[in-house]
Amino acid sequence: MSDDDYIYDEATGEWRPASEIAAEKAARNQVRDASGTVLADGDSVVLIKDLKVKGAGQTLKQGTVIKSIRLTDNPDEIDCRHETIKGLVLRTEFVRKR
């Protein structure tokens, strides 16, 4: 093995395989819905709670289907569109995958 196969992990203070560290980072950055299902770009989600939308003066009802979501840099938020609200950002704790 070469020295490039291991990376020093400052959190544990150990030299660890690069593949192991990369797998842990990928697992931490996964976007999950309220029930723990992994979400991806283009998925459809359903609201699990009535949500008041700030600035729009509307309430999205429980059971509303949101199609074609987009993931953001924040794993706790998804970007989506609704017929009446453009540029909607929802927290993943209020949706589940359809």
Same domain, 76 and 37: yes
Same domain, 87 and 75: yes
Q: Whole domain around residue 83: which residue ranges?
A: 31-98
Give 79's strand partners: 70, 89
Same domain, 5 and 23: yes
Burial of 39 (0-12, 13-18, 19+ CB in 10 A): buried
Same domain, 23 and 37: no
Same domain, 70 and 25: no
Ordered per-residue pLDDT tens for the chain, 98 residues: 455 688 888 888 999 988 888 887 777 778 999 999 999 999 999 999 999 988 888 899 999 999 999 998 888 999 998 888 888 999 999 999 99
Contact 62, 69 (CB under 8 A): no
Same domain, 21 and 47: no
**CA-to-CA distance for 74 and 90, rounded, in angstroms?**
11
Same domain, 54 and 95: yes
**CA-to-CA distance for 86 and 28, rounded, in angstroms?**
29
The total number of structural domains in the chain stands at 2
